[in-house]
Amino acid sequence: MKPGMTTVFIISAPSGSGKSTLVSELMRLVPRLRFSVSYTTRYPRACERDGEDYFFISREDFEERIARGEFLEHAEVFGNYYGTHISELDRAAAEGYDLVLDIDVQGARQLKERIPAGVSIFILAPSRQVLEERLRARSQDSEAVILRRLHDAAGEIGNYHLYDYVLVNREVAASVETLVAIVKATRSRRDRMENEIRPILDTFL
Ligand code: 5GP
């Protein structure tokens, strides 16, 4: 794959939908994918590392970067800024990799406007009850946080129509398979194949 043929895969989901597991499985199974590390102003959780999970920066720094136009998209989520730095896409393109973004609905909308060829995927839990069970099973959130996440999920789900694909996460293995299939199918699109087709055609001349 030549630079410039990079596809952005935009993945969004309400929390508790199983998105993190699916995305990490996708990254493990499919070669030439780069995970986009976002910038955020929220505080790191105990297990998170700066530069790996996020780049953790101050509000002031974030706002200066917005003013300088450094972000491909950015949004305020739960009172904190989150944004995708342009360099993530540049780096993926230079490596000949595709870029996988785990971003919210506002960011997905901005990115689709900026990069219409981007492929967007919305992950859904099969029902409210299953989502609630999954949030409780994680047992890392207080009751108030669980209720807020459920409430937020109801709002976020209404945006499914903005996405190219919707994945109902009933069972991890099947969902991973679908996610991998979406990436593979995108890579087989004719416009993505041009560079590979030409030398093949040449052998028939
Ligand atoms: P968390 O704080 O739980 O890591 O993420 C909260 C939300 O922010 C998630 O829905 C996640 O997808 C979203 N998010 C993470 N990075 C970005 C980003 O760079 N841009 C946007 N728009 N949303 C992001």
Nearest residue (CA) to ligand 1, atom 10: 104
**Which residue from 12, 19, 38, 109 has its CB within 8 A of the most atoms of ligand 1, so it is best to mutate?**
38
DSSP 1: -
Distance between Cα 77 and ligand 1 center (Å)? 7
Distance between Cα 184 and ligand 1 center (Å)? 25
Global pTM? 0.94
Q: How far apart (Å, rounded) are the C-alpha atoms in residues 26 and 184?
A: 11
- pLDDT value of residue 4: 53
- pLDDT value of residue 78: 82
- pLDDT value of residue 202: 95
pLDDT in tens, 36-72: 999 999 999 889 999 999 999 999 999 999 999 999 9
pLDDT < 70 regions, the chain: 1-4, 139
**What is the residue type of 140?**
Q
For the chain, domains (ranges, CATH) are 8-202 (3.40.50.300)
